[in-house]
Structure 1
Amino acid sequence: MQVKVGVVQATPVFFDSAKTIDKLEALAIDGASKGCQFLLFPESFIPGYPRKFTFGASIGLRTNAGRELYKTYWQNSLQLPSPELARLEHIARDNNVYLAIGITERDTLSGSLYCTLIYISPIDGYLGKHQKIKPTGVERLVWADGTGKHSLGVFDTAIGRLGGLICWENYMPLARMRIYQQAPQIYLAPTADARASWPSTLQHIACEGRCFVLGCNQFFTRSDYPEAYQEFLTDDDTILCRGGSAIVSPQGEFMAGPLWDEEGILMAELDLDEVLKSKLDFDVIGHYSRPDLFDFKTSTL
């Protein structure tokens, strides 16, 4: 089966969820008009990845200004379900395109935030989500650990089996193995990692999982931050996130990208039979597994 996919490297409207969804809709229309059946958006595209923010916190200290900033970020994060989610479902349906979107998800009961990847079908609407099970470094200040329950799955859709992990979760071997166990054909890796070494991570996952890998990052400069947030930028860097999005084949070869230092939609035609053919060489859950030696189980709690 041939599937045309797009990886959207773009700048959100910080930290405005409504305007970011407006931009997402325009990008979805553009990608669908070019024949894309699936579009991936970066980690925390809605309402934006809070790079360089401290939220007024250090060990043993929190400030009222930091709490106020957290409140603003929380207010512009997405609740599930919500009118914003319904709008995203309409965008997918109106453009006949599957969407996977990195969001910051808010829990209105507990007040916590989660780094989440949501899946939306043009046929069935909202399919489900993956919550980041371990935020990286200082991200843990604002993002809680995802529960993992019903969140480490792969979705069987009309365009293939979709699943994946967010950013540095992809350095967690057992988390990757949980996804591999479900035989994804298209593995998603939205990220905020713009290091030159990140694309090699995508190549490794593709070779290890024998699947297509879509890596997606934001591109933004210091001028994209509203004036109210410029005070958080303590260095002179013009580009705050270079991007580095890419599409990789099951043999670990770049099909598109990496894309650096600009916005854009990377596109590629995926022949899902290539996933099957690549299993001749290596199959991490098949003939290259040793269940007599290794027993891997995932808690459902």
Structure 2
Amino acid sequence: MTNKLLVAIVQSAPVPLAIDHGIKQVCALIEKAAARGADVIAFGETFLGGYPIWLDEAPGAALWDHPGSKALHGILMEQAITVGDSRLVPLQKLVDQTKACVSIGAHERVRSSLYNNQILFRPNSEPLNHRKLVPTHGERLIWNRGDGSTLNVHQAQWGTVGNLICWEHWMPLARAAMHNLGEDVHVSAWPTVRETYAIASRHYAFEGGCHVLAAGTLLHRDDLLDGLELAGGNAEALALFHEIPDQQLQFGGSMIIAPDGEILAEASDRDEILLAEIDLQAGLEAKAALDTDGHYSRADVFELNVNTSENLGVNWRD
């Protein structure tokens, strides 16, 4: 097992809504990061399909029966990935070839519900899903809640990698569960890594004694218009997008963080591949002072039970 890894965050603007075009873009970006030697490559929240920024920026988006919001939901349903989606085969092949682990956010459809899924692609293995446990505020208009069946990590040859999404980093018990799984590298996926989000990511690194890739994305209102056109267009959705200011909406701010909370590399608000070499030994040494899953856990006082069953709602039995 090697102690040194090169990790990367791909900070770029996604192709909103149009998943097929987004997958081609992602494959090209993975190739660029892998060509620079990256062993782990992270993308931000719902990079495939783009973050539903209209919930925050369009004044009427949350109104009951809003035609633009309904139209966009329909497009997301049509475009979203599904379990075993053949459109992801080129991405998996690329991961198999490069041997890099890739964490990327996506809109996923299960039956008639959408989920915010941070997918961990790993070489020569099935991808791991992590569906966001609690959609934040207005996101509940779009996404269903995930369950404990997708709280997981990947055991690579060099160590363990996992991910959480956005405000899950303020769920103390979710953090405790992930720390128990022994992450060496953690992907912290955000739309933009704002100041408070950077604090949460650095706190996670220190609390978990692991390296954190806080991955943000970029987005301009024009990207929404372009993506809508690529997805086939829709007059109601277009009208809603024109309620959004014609300006930059997501600002990157990605950073790679050491187990002591130090920022090893930090991106600006521009398109870039952020790289850093990390030393996994630093995570082991950090446990000497603080091991929140071990000598700092007080297992005789506190106990956490995690339900990892899949909650289907309807169970058909013979």
Contact 1:55/1:66 (<8 A) preserved: no
Q: CA deviation at 1:234?
A: 3.4
Structure 1 CA distance for aligned equivalents of residues 273 and 80 of structure 2: 24
Structure 2 CA distance for aligned equivalents of residues 248 and 179 of structure 1: 17
Which residue of 2 is the match for residue 252 of structure 1?
261
Structure 2 CA distance for aligned equivalents of residues 263 and 56 of structure 1: 30
Q: CA deviation at 1:271?
A: 1.2
Structure 2 CA distance for aligned equivalents of residues 37 and 58 of structure 1: 41
Indicate how the Cα distance of structure 1 residues 155 and 286 shifts in structure 2: closer, same or farther if over 3 A, else same: same
Contact 1:154/1:164 (<8 A) preserved: yes
Contact 1:56/1:62 (<8 A) preserved: no
Indicate how the Cα distance of structure 1 residues 199 and 156 shifts in structure 2: closer, same or farther if over 3 A, else same: same
Which residue of 2 is the match for residue 14 of structure 1?
16
Q: CA deviation at 1:55?
A: 11
Structure 2 CA distance for aligned equivalents of residues 261 and 163 of structure 1: 25
The letter of the residue matching 2:41 is: L
Contact 1:52/1:233 (<8 A) preserved: no
Which residue of 2 is the match for residue 93 of structure 1?
96
Q: CA deviation at 1:95?
A: 2.6
Which residue of 1 is the match for residue 285 of structure 2?
277
Q: CA deviation at 1:233?
A: 4.9
Q: CA deviation at 1:56?
A: 6.7
Report how many residues are paired: 295
**Percent of residue pairs bearing the same amino acid type:** 32
Which residue of 2 is the match for residue 142 of structure 1?
142
The alignment's TM-score, normalised by the length of structure 2, stands at 0.87
Q: Which residues of 2 match residues 73-88 of structure 1 at below 5 A? A: 73-88=76-91
Contact 2:221/2:244 (<8 A) preserved: no
Structure having greater relative contact order (Cα 8 Å, sep ≥ 6)? 2
Contact 2:151/2:308 (<8 A) preserved: no
Q: CA deviation at 1:235?
A: 5.2
Q: Which residues of 2 match residues 119-198 of structure 1 at below 5 A? A: 119-124=120-125, 126-149=126-149, 151-198=150-197
1:40 to 35, 42, 46: 42
Structure 2 CA distance for aligned equivalents of residues 172 and 266 of structure 1: 27
Q: Alpha-carbon deviations, 1:154-181, whole Å to 9, x = none?
A: 2111232011210001111011001001
Contact 1:6/1:268 (<8 A) preserved: yes
Q: Alpha-carbon deviations, 1:17-49, whole Å to 9, x = none?
A: 111111111111111111111111111011111
Q: CA deviation at 1:277?
A: 0.7
The letter of the residue matching 1:42 is: G
The letter of the residue matching 1:132 is: K
Q: Which has the larger share of helix?
A: 2
Q: CA deviation at 1:226?
A: 1.3
Please give the root-mean-square deviation of Cα atoms over the aligned residues, in Å: 1.9
The letter of the residue matching 2:265 is: A
Q: Which residues of 2 match residues 98-109 of structure 1 at below 5 A? A: 98-107=101-110, 109=111
Q: Alpha-carbon deviations, 1:215-260, whole Å to 9, x = none?
A: 1011111222216647435354621001111100000000110x23
Q: CA deviation at 1:133?
A: 0.5
Structure 2 CA distance for aligned equivalents of residues 154 and 184 of structure 1: 7
Contact 2:54/2:244 (<8 A) preserved: no
The letter of the residue matching 1:277 is: E
The DSSP-based 3-state class of the residue aligned with 1:94 is: helix
Structure 1 CA distance for aligned equivalents of residues 54 and 211 of structure 2: 32
Q: Which has the larger share of strand?
A: 1
The letter of the residue matching 2:276 is: A
Q: CA deviation at 1:197?
A: 2.5
Are 1:114 and 2:133 matched, yes or no? no
Q: CA deviation at 1:94?
A: 2.7
Which residue of 2 is the match for residue 232 of structure 1?
241
The letter of the residue matching 2:215 is: C
